Amino acid sequence: MMTSSSSSSSSSSSHPPPPPPPSPLIPTTILLLLCLPTLFYLAPHILPPPPPPPISFPDELQDLSLFRRATAAETHRNPSKSRLGSTNSKPKIAFLFLTNSNLHFYPLWERFFNPNNRSSRHLYTIYVHADPTVNPKITAPGGVFSDDRFITTAKKTHRGTATLIAAARRLLATAILDDPANQFFTLISQHCVPLHSFSYFYDTLFEVKQHQVAELRGLKYKSFIQIVKDDPYIWDRYNARGKNVMVPEVPFDRFRMGSQFFTLTRKHAVLVVKDRRLWKKFRLDCLKPNSCYPEEHYFPTLLSMGDPDGCSGFTLTRVNWTDSVDGHPHTYYPNEVSKELIYELRRSNHTMEYMFGRKFSPDCLQPLMDMADE
């Protein structure tokens, strides 16, 4: 028995103990490692994008310096020379191009301005605010869009943020400082196209055919900016930065909405550049980005509060919102471009036709050029 027991003990000791069961953490870790590339790929499509950085303090100081210089220059000008149709017989229109891409429609705009026409080439000025952080860098196409038309104070812009307000204000301030003859200021995007000739726009804006009549009756020119107060989304937009954040500077009953694109008189351009009070509210970050479009709120609200009688209440840029996607208006493509479309886009329920249309895809250039002379 002793021998048998001893033999059994010796036999069991000759075999190694069974291995421990595999840890459940090992396959889980392997699975996670295999899934990481997929997670990195899907994250930007699932998670909301990070909020854009706020306007930096150095940028704010540079803008403030520019705005103060523009305001001071206008204050020290002879007020009698700023009256449209009086001492200045050749007032100009300043075209302010706001873009974050190359100017795809520059050949069409070159045709519009027609710089070889001596009678019109001294009636306009051009300024371009091109986002300097875009890669590849936005380049000047030449012609009327030469390098010196690109303003040096341009800074990065983000959709749905106050950076678009700041960019438009830089354009206005630059144009005010650059030429005292600039009496109207028209904001344009890279997706805008002209619906009429320059001469038609100029004559209509300044009422050239009724010039003497306008002087005799002391006609006051108005800004063409859309101002809307009755809209189902206006309450959400007002509270996009938080409830009651806009008071006391902007009570709800004074808050307005409107198109980002406008044509302002010099008086109103200066009013925009001078403003500090409303800017400190509209520059605040948004808590509800889907309801926050500062560039569509700031200008209508400021001018409605500052000089409602001096504004027409409508814009000269036609936009189709019937099938908007993610806050973007309808984009026209080459198969939609026709003479009938241009005629339709010109039609307006207001006292003036629409002068510009958006939003057009870059490949619409050729069909538009084909009928530009007509």
The per-residue pLDDT for 29 is 65
Q: How many domains does the chain have?
A: 1
**Confidence tier at 227 by pLDDT (50, 70, 90):** very high
In-domain check, residue 344: yes
The per-residue pLDDT for 119 is 85
The per-residue pLDDT for 8 is 46
Tell me the mean pLDDT in the region 304-313: 96
| pLDDT over 70 (residue 35) | no
Quick one: what percent of the chain has pLDDT higher than 70? 79
The per-residue pLDDT for 179 is 96
The per-residue pLDDT for 325 is 73
The per-residue pLDDT for 135 is 93
| pLDDT over 60 (residue 341) | yes
Q: Which region among 55-64, 104-113, 130-139, 323-332 has the lowest average model confidence (pLDDT)?
A: 323-332
The per-residue pLDDT for 5 is 45
The per-residue pLDDT for 2 is 45
In-domain check, residue 3: no
| pLDDT over 80 (residue 192) | yes
Tell me the mean pLDDT in the region 319-331: 84
| pLDDT over 50 (residue 24) | yes
In-domain check, residue 206: yes
The per-residue pLDDT for 11 is 45
The per-residue pLDDT for 294 is 96
Higher pLDDT, 199 or 27: 199
In-domain check, residue 283: yes
The per-residue pLDDT for 327 is 75
In-domain check, residue 1: no
**Complete edge-to-edge strand list for the sheet that includes strand 311-313:** 124-130, 92-99, 182-189, 263-265, 223-226, 311-313
Higher pLDDT, 24 or 183: 183
In-domain check, residue 169: yes
**Structural domain harbouring 307:** 57-73+90-373
Tell me the mean pLDDT in the region 238-252: 95
The per-residue pLDDT for 9 is 46
Burial of 26 (0-12, 13-18, 19+ CB in 10 A): exposed
In-domain check, residue 29: no
Rounded to whole angstroms, the maximal C-alpha distance in the chain is 136
The per-residue pLDDT for 20 is 65
What angle do the packed helices 266-274 and 57-75 form, to 10 degrees?
Answer: 140
Nearest to 222 by CA among 180, 173, 184, 165: 184
In-domain check, residue 287: yes
The per-residue pLDDT for 86 is 45
The per-residue pLDDT for 31 is 64
**Confidence tier at 39 by pLDDT (50, 70, 90):** low
Burial of 271 (0-12, 13-18, 19+ CB in 10 A): buried
Q: Are 58 and 184 in contact (CB under 8 A)?
A: no
Query: Which residue type does 290 have?
Result: N
Chain-wide mean pLDDT for the chain? 86
**Confidence tier at 108 by pLDDT (50, 70, 90):** very high
| pLDDT over 80 (residue 208) | no
What Rg value do the Cα atoms of the chain yield, rounded? 30
